[in-house]
Amino acid sequence: MKPDREFLLKHPAHFIALGFGSGLAPKAPGTFGTLATFPIYALLIWLGGNWALAVGAALFFFVGIWASGITGRALGVSDHSAIVVDEIAAFLLVLLFTPLTFIWLIVAFVLFRIFDILKPWPISVADRRIKGGFGVMFDDLLAAMLSIFCIWFLRSIFQGVAS
């Protein structure tokens, strides 16, 4: 089944899991879901800084388990490509550890997309073995953790250059 606007609006879980509509993009829905994170990030930073960002990432993760589980069952595919709440929750976490400069935001975006698309070990193992709503969310959490590690590593190399 290919979700459409009607499916998106049929249930609150679908609306959340499909990234408020960003998952309906005909090509690269995961990338569009990740891009949809930026306005959410800006809102959370405006509401309460890093504290609000951390709470928001956690809320998106836990609500995402519920929403992606319901939506995956409705679509007949546990981790359908239109489900992008996992990208949103995980990328919010990455942004929590990313300096607020244009170059670092681009680096964070590219790193996260690379890890999410290529799924190196251990992401690939989690993606194959852990199913349901938690599985949908967990492999992106691992991609976020690898991205955060790379950002930390790059920042330690380029201290002061791009901060």
Handedness of CA 89, 91, 94, 96 (dihedral sign): negative
Q: What is the pLDDT of residues 28-61, one digit of tens each?
A: 999 999 999 999 999 999 999 999 999 999 999 9
What does the domain layout of the chain look like in residue ranges?
5-157
Estimate the crossing angle of helix 132-157 against helix 37-75, to 10 degrees: 150
Task: Indicate the pTM of the whole model.
Answer: 0.95
Q: What is the pLDDT of residues 99-152, one digit of tens each?
A: 999 999 999 999 999 999 999 999 999 999 999 999 999 999 999 999 999 999
Tokens 């459409």 belong to residue: 4
